[in-house]
Structure 1
Amino acid sequence: MKFFLPDSQDLVDPSFDFELERRSMTRQRQRDDLYAHEVFSTPAFDGLLVSKGIVDGFGVLGSRYTLSQRRRLQRDGAPQFFRLDNAPYPLEIMGDCGAFTYVDEEEPPYSVDEVLAFYESCRFHYGVSLDHVILEFDPAADAPGAEEDVISPAIRARQQLTLERAREFLRKHKAGGHSFKPLGVAQGWSPKSYAAAVKALQKMGYDYIALGGMVPLKTQEIRLCLEEIQAVRKPGTRLHLLGVTRPEHLQEFSRLGIASFDSTSPLRQAFKDARDNYYLDGHKYTAIRIPQIEGNPDLQKKIFAGQVSQESARRLERECLESMRLFDQGRRTVRQTLEVLLEYERLYDPDTKPKRNDHAAAYEQTLENAPWRRCACEVCGKLKHHVILFRGAERNRRRGFHNIWTLYRQMHERGLGEGSPFQEEMGPRARRAKARAHG
């Protein structure tokens, strides 16, 4: 099973000083900052997924790329743009259309020809056919005679449009002699409708099929779809899960034909989730929140309104940072560290109730286990306790990188990955990447 990391231009600045919280004055983001594959000396994923909708931007969702970056991506190709030569292991790149960016449109804003040209100019290894995502799911539609009443004509038309575009995509891919491997997209609203789409795509000639629209589904619903697809899936057909992780169920998904998946969840949970921010050994820990005064709008308003003393806020912010530093050195106890962390929390978030809504129990578990001390990845080895601090993009994003690395390692420990990438002996590229990661 392969793991593709969706790109949204998440990079980290190797010049950032975590003690002084300053960066080099000469730093240029695209030139100097590092992608995740440039940070680690062992694999963290098998490839990248690049969406046309993310690159181009659509509607209110602007592009994550500057105009010059978009031009360079298509001029030089994705392998050079993402500096894949700096990775200590081979990486592949998959392209898709980013159907979530135009989900509210009646039809996709791109033509098949535009999508093919984008994939070819970017020199992707895989290309996903043009699709229109379906976000309605109702297994009741599979009951005899129920589909007409449960599923609207507009939703059924989306599936038909997706299949028609897949047929055109494959025909023009063959006629144009394109170099990337084509994937057809199956969209559905129930287990049987997904299976019908997979069956149709196989009949067209696809042997690698991406399953779209499953991000909002519960695990049991995904399982029902995969079991129904299994009844029609040919032995040589591989499946890709678009946007779905579910680490605890990957072994079962693999048994049901999933050969690859992509997801940003491990990265986003590092700074989006209220509790589960740091992965290690099958556990998820809560990161220690020490917000920057300038980065907390609510606290800033209270300070400007005279409700909170700026001097007190500054003092507690500094004390929290110092306490975490001393704790990691073994010079502060869990209780001593916890006291100052909760005092600052009650200042910047006064609505929390002790022993109910605050982070006392979660922080205590994080501090008692100090998981970053046991992690073998370069991020934790370099940052130490800074990796567990929920504070600013440089720390938060690196914690996300750690989560990606951890998920990938768990996959291989469970026998789900390809090859055996976690070996002590490193090649030249691995040593070069490790040297860059450590400055």
Structure 2
Amino acid sequence: MTHTSSQERPDFDAMRDWRRHIHQNPELGFEEHLTSTYVAERLESFGLSVTRGLGGTGVVAQIAVGDPDKGPRLALRADMDALPMQEHTGLPYASRVAGKMHACGHDGHTAMLLGGADLIARRVRSGQIKGNGTVTFIFQPAEEVGGSDGGAQRMIAEGLFDKFPTDEVYGIHNGPTEEEGRMYFREGPFMCSSDKLEIVIRGASSHGATPHLAKDASLAMASTIMALHSVVSQNVPPLETAIFNVGQVSAGTVFNIIPSEARITACIRVFNPETATLVHRRIKEVVSAQAQAFGCTGEVIVDYGYPSVVNEAQTLAAAAATATRLFGTDRVVTDAARVTASEDFAFYLKHCSGSFFLIGNGDNGYRDGKPIGPCSVHSPYFDFNDNNLTVGAEFWAGLVEDKFQQGVTT
């Protein structure tokens, strides 16, 4: 329940329809053509100024209130892309596209921000949002792409903050397994960075009957994998977070030829950039030493991906204060646990102040159309909780109202 006296309310029925339409028609990163058109048409129907095609399939809308030059320039962001996986929820609005589904809740993030834009526009027209400032609504493609060329990077590279100058930027992600409707905030490092490693080990091939003539890259690979899993435990202080995982391995072409090349694809996640530097250095040293031990060579190719999401103190406090005003202290957590997943929202925070936070998704898993309790993102049984749609829209409008009434930037 919200605690605001404003008469204009979020349109739950419309948001639920938008969310389920997007859910049924998932599109992967940089392929969100139908989704971006759908979003842009809704935004235009709210009377907002809309820019299409930024970052390929990104959509940006804007509304000005009072004297924009005398107030804060706020940006609110949602991501739109789906994942390449088959949905197994059995829900009546499940994905209609084979091998693609909204398994991370971006359909819900988009619907919440659409609902927020609609509510803000209506409250501005009715005079319920007063003061001065500008709100930019960012509907971003390709958050799930990862690596060094995701949706946030492309939108920024194509002039997002030059075309839409911003003082503060905010984003919401659903919190799988967290309590429904409760909002989670944390100052400072909140989400991990994520870097992709491609490790190539090169040796010499030979017939399986003459192993003494080979430099077995597969053997060197196996030893390297074992050694790499000691990098964190033997080098990173116990109270510092670092995660290393191997996701893919490959070597050889047929059963009776010793392979001359082997490949390992892995990932590093940390909160602290200094820890990342340490782990990267030790991985390169370990790969080189292990390869040499088997007469091979080793190379580490790094795709530096998303940096850590670091929430700035004043914007985080302002967002938490709005949530507390609207929903009460029992619905707001200000010392939330850190999250070891990654988010390209971090790139926005390299350009301006801002914060990123969670809204609990509650019991959101389904199989054969029946509830199965809490469910993690990137699961074929995941669904965004529609009960959060009005919470998110109300929060976005409340944050804008509070910031504009303050009349200053933080």
Taking structure 1 as the reference length, the TM-score comes to 0.25
Higher relative contact order (CA 8 A, sep 6+): 2
Bigger strand fraction: 2
Taking structure 2 as the reference length, the TM-score comes to 0.26
